[in-house]
């Protein structure tokens, strides 16, 4: 993968949103952010 693309993608997902959380943190809570591609999967586990 292109190193610049990798850094750009990582910065996008690590950047803090309005709630002061990154998309990674929001996903870990089992939620989805309005501009994220993939919601957290934890909401689908252990059903």
The pLDDT of residue 1: 54
The pLDDT of residue 20: 93
The pLDDT of residue 47: 46
- The rounded distance, in Å, linking the Cα atoms of 17 and 38 is 16
Other CB atoms within 10 A of residue 36 CB: 16
Residues of the chain with pLDDT under 70: 1-7, 35-47
Asked if 32 contacts 22 with a C-beta cutoff of 8 angstroms, the reply is no
Model confidence pLDDT, tens digit, residues 17-30: 888 999 888 888 88
Tokens of 21: 């959380």
């Amino acid at each position: 993968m292109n190193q610049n693309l990798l850094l750009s993608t990582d910065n996008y997902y690590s950047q803090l949103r309005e709630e002061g959380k990154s998309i990674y943190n929001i996903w870990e809570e089992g939620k989805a952010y309005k501009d994220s591609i993939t919601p957290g999967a934890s909401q689908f586990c252990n059903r």
